[in-house]
């Protein structure tokens, strides 16, 4: 019988053997370093200083972006960048003054750039300025003898031809962040420019080319002397969008002095022709590597120009929501088109008095008139009959309060309230009185301008589901249908007729275009509860009402659905409807000309 100690001793006798073996290997390696660094060191120093073959990545050109007519929206142009090799400068101060004079820049801002790069070795060139003009390039070339420390490098610069007019739909480029590099699985490298926001982000993998590589000989300062071979980079694919440059410009101009968003889409295909958010920003600012003050201003601006209000801002739908209520009421058979309700200016529901916007009341109204004159009391009744859950189902079925699945990131779903939501989020029961508010588009209900345009597309195409998208060859995705909801064709038709009346003889008259069928609905969202009537113009800007206008139009051949939202714009009829008219006139310009015969 062996003791535990003997057992252990067997093991421990062999431990030194292993240790000596590993330590000897470490010694062998140390001597290899000694040999390479001390005996052959001078040889390798020579190699390091002269024959330098370096692999450099080559970036494939990023694809261009076109509008639906094939008009070029985004391209790559050669950008001239000024780099400074500090090791070649005799006097850095005079070098900087030279640059400051040619570029008309403050020398202090240049010194600041150098301070930031102070820690990288002197033989590393420093990027001093980007996007030089040709005359500036010429002046640096002319003074190259006195100032050999400057080089002008040519690199691709992303050019957004229409600047701020397209910014929110297109997005922009920016340097890949650490998180993006990590998540890309080796696709992105540090300092790569990648798509941020908009279609530049969503279709980044399609737009970006695949990297190539070249082997070059560089001198001891890293300057390329000779190229030894290359694996060509492949350019990215071009992207064709459904956007229409002309309509987009009409909408951008309308929003020059307004805050809000507009979306227009083809009800038959879901193709988005207009996607505007205001205020906007100049995406070309982001194409540069050097941080600029413009960029900081964008981030700090109180109006949040980087916010894409068309998809990221959600608001109460206001009276536009009466469209959903009408379709739901008729489809569910809760009311017939001829059923009437007495509006005396207010009504009592769930023990509380709710007012109509019209104090003296509308008298006896049926659905069409209730929509045309936006009678609140009619829809209070309808809301009470339907109940919040059925209202919610139809809201979802008509694409409000949930993501549309548009092919750009950042979309907000909005909110469809209900009993389950109330328990989960507010930890409180749903009160029947709230249903009455929701019935006229107030209460916790929230929708985005894109969803409103989607709603109008559904109204225009008779309830066929389409998915809004920006790329012409976007993958067609089947829309899921809402369980328990069937949009009755008769209901859709009745509501459509009522919407046409709104434009012909109601609040939507500002959107009427001769020769077209136009149907629409205005909406006004109160920012503060008002008990006494004050004219909006007398209110401070921040407290003025938001304006909605949602409409569709058709010339029998083509159709267009539009939603316009103006923050603090006042009444929808005045602030939002005129843009719809401008868009319709531009969209149908040709068919209108031939039809009206001039």
Instruction: Point out which residues pair with 177 in neighbouring strands.
Output: none
Structure tokens at 251: 């909408």
Q: Which of 193, 199, 195 is nearest to 166 (CA)?
A: 199
Q: How many CA atoms lie within 13 A of 78 on its CB side?
A: 7
- 24 CB contacts (<8 Å, ≥6 apart)? none
Report the sign of the C-alpha dihedral through residues 373, 378, 384, 390, in that order. Answer: negative
Pairwise CA distance, residues 350 & 40, whole Å: 94
Complex with other proteins: residue 13 or 353, whichever CB lies closer: 13
Complex with other proteins: residue 49 or 420, whichever CB lies closer: 49
Secondary-structure breakdown of the chain: helix, strand, coil percentages, each rounded to the nearest 5: 40, 20, 40
Min separation Cβ 35 and other proteins, Å: 9
Among 1, 3, 10, 598, binds other proteins (CB under 8 A): 10
Helix axes 322-331, 376-397, angle to 10 degrees: 80
Q: Among residue numbers 223 through 262, which ones bind other proteins (CB under 8 A)?
A: 228-229
Min separation Cβ 190 and other proteins, Å: 4
Pairwise CA distance, residues 382 & 154, whole Å: 66
- Asked if 331 is an active-site residue, the reply is no
Among 80, 93, 109, 121, binds other proteins (CB under 8 A): 121
Structure tokens at 240: 């064709």
Q: Per-residue x/- marks for other proteins, 159-198, CB under 8 A?
A: ----------------x--xx-xxx-xx--xxx-------
Q: Among residue numbers 195 through 224, which ones bind other proteins (CB under 8 A)?
A: 215, 218, 220, 222
Q: How many CA atoms lie within 13 A of 445 on its CB side?
A: 32
- 423 CB contacts (<8 Å, ≥6 apart)? 429, 430
Structure tokens at 109: 């801002």
Complex with other proteins: residue 216 or 539, whichever CB lies closer: 216
Q: Per-residue x/- marks for other proteins, 412-451, CB under 8 A?
A: ----------------------------------------
| Helix ranges restricted to H, 91-187 | 92-103, 107-116, 134-142, 167-170, 178-183
3-state helix/strand/coil string of 468-534: CECECCCCCCCCCCCCCCCCCHHHHHHHHHHHHHHHHHCCCHHHCCCCCEEEEEEEEECCCCCCCCC
Q: Among residue numbers 41 through 80, which ones bind other proteins (CB under 8 A)?
A: 41-45, 47-49, 52-56
Q: Among residue numbers 16 through 45, which ones bind other proteins (CB under 8 A)?
A: 16-19, 22-23, 25-26, 29-30, 32-34, 36-38, 40-45
Min separation Cβ 222 and other proteins, Å: 5
Catalytic residue among 316, 319, 374, 437: 319
Min separation Cβ 116 and other proteins, Å: 12
Complex with other proteins: residue 193 or 367, whichever CB lies closer: 193
Complex with other proteins: residue 42 or 134, whichever CB lies closer: 42
Total site size for other proteins, rule CB under 8 A: 61
Complex with other proteins: residue 12 or 205, whichever CB lies closer: 12
Min separation Cβ 6 and other proteins, Å: 8
153 near other proteins (CB under 8 A):
no
Min separation Cβ 295 and other proteins, Å: 18
Min separation Cβ 331 and other proteins, Å: 43
What is the distance in angstroms between the CA of the first residue and the CA of the last residue of the chain? 117
Pairwise CA distance, residues 209 & 60, whole Å: 4
Q: Which of 18, 63, 88, 9 is nearest to 239 (CA)?
A: 63
Q: Which of 281, 273, 265, 269 is nearest to 246 (CA)?
A: 273
Min separation Cβ 596 and other proteins, Å: 58
Specify the stretch interacting with other proteins by CB under 8 A; choose among 117-125, 279-287, 330-338, 362-370.
117-125
Among 12, 143, 303, 486, binds other proteins (CB under 8 A): 12
Complex with other proteins: residue 97 or 219, whichever CB lies closer: 219
Give the footprint of other proteins on this chain (CB under 8 A).
Answer: 2, 6-8, 10-12, 14-19, 22-23, 25-26, 29-30, 32-34, 36-38, 40-45, 47-49, 52-56, 119-121, 123-124, 175, 178-179, 181-183, 185-186, 189-191, 215, 218, 220, 222, 228-229
The residues annotated with a catalytic role in the active site are 319
């Amino acid at each position: 019988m062996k003791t535990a100690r003997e057992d252990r001793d067997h093991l421990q006798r062999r431990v030194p053997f292993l240790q000596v073996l590993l330590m000897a290997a470490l010694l062998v390696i140390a001597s290899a370093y000694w040999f390479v660094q001390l005996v052959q060191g001078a040889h390798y120093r020579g190699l390091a200083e002269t024959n330098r073959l370096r692999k450099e990545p080559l970036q494939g050109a990023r694809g261009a972006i076109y509008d639906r007519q094939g008009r070029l929206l985004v391209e790559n142009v050669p950008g001239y960048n000024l780099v400074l090799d500090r090791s070649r400068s005799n006097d850095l101060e005079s070098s900087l003054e030279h640059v400051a004079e040619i570029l008309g820049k403050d020398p202090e801002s240049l010194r600041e750039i150098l301070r930031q790069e102070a820690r990288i070795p002197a033989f590393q060139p420093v990027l001093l300025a980007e996007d030089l003009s040709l005359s500036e390039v010429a002046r640096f070339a002319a003074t190259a003898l006195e100032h050999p420390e400057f080089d002008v490098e040519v690199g691709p610069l992303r050019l957004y031809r229409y600047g701020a007019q397209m910014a929110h739909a297109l997005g922009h480029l920016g340097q890949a962040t650490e998180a993006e590099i990590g998540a890309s699985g080796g696709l992105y490298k540090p300092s790569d420019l990648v798509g941020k926001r908009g279609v530049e982000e969503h279709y980044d993998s399609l737009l970006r080319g695949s990297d190539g590589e070249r082997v070059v000989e560089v001198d001891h300062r890293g300057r390329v002397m000779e190229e030894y071979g290359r694996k060509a980079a492949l350019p990215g694919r071009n992207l064709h969008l459904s956007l229409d440059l002309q309509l987009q410009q009409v909408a951008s101009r309308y929003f020059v002095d307004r805050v809000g968003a507009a979306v227009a889409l083809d009800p038959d295909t879901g193709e988005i022709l207009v996607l505007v958010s205001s205020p906007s920003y100049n995406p070309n600012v982001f194409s540069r590597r050097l941080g600029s003050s413009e960029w900081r201003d964008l981030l700090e601006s109180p109006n949040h120009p980087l916010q894409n209000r068309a998809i990221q801002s959600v608001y109460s739908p206001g009276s536009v929501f009466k469209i959903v209520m009408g379709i739901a009421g008729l489809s569910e058979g809760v009311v017939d088109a001829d059923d009437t309700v007495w509006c005396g200016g207010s009504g009592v529901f769930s023990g509380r008095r709710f007012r109509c916007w019209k104090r003296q009341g509308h008298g006896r109204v049926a659905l069409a008139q209730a929509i045309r004159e936006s009678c609140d009391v009619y829809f209070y009744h309808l809301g009470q009959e339907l109940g919040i859950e059925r209202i919610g189902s139809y809201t979802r079925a008509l694409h409000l309060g949930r993501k549309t699945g548009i092919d750009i990131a950042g979309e907000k779903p909005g909110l469809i309230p209900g009993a389950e939501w109330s328990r989960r989020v507010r930890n409180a029961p749903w009160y029947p009185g709230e249903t009455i508010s929701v019935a006229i588009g107030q209460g916790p209900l929230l929708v985005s301008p894109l969803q409103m345009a989607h709603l109008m597309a559904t109204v225009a195409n008779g309830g066929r589901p389409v998915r809004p998208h920006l790329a012409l060859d976007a993958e067609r995705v089947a829309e899921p249908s809402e369980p328990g909801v069937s949009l009755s064709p008769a209901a859709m038709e009745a509501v459509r007729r009522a919407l046409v009346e709104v434009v012909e003889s109601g609040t939507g008259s500002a959107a009427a275009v001769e020769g077209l069928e136009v149907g629409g609905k205005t909406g006004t969202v109160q920012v503060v509860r008002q008990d006494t009537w004050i004219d909006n113009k007398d209110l401070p800007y921040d407290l003025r009402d938001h304006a909605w206008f949602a409409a569709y139009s058709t010339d029998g051949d083509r159709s267009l659905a539009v939603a316009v939202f103006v923050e603090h714009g006042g009444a929808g009829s005045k602030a939002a409807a005129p843009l719809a008219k401008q868009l319709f006139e531009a969209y149908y310009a040709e068919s209108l000309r031939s039809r009206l015969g001039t």
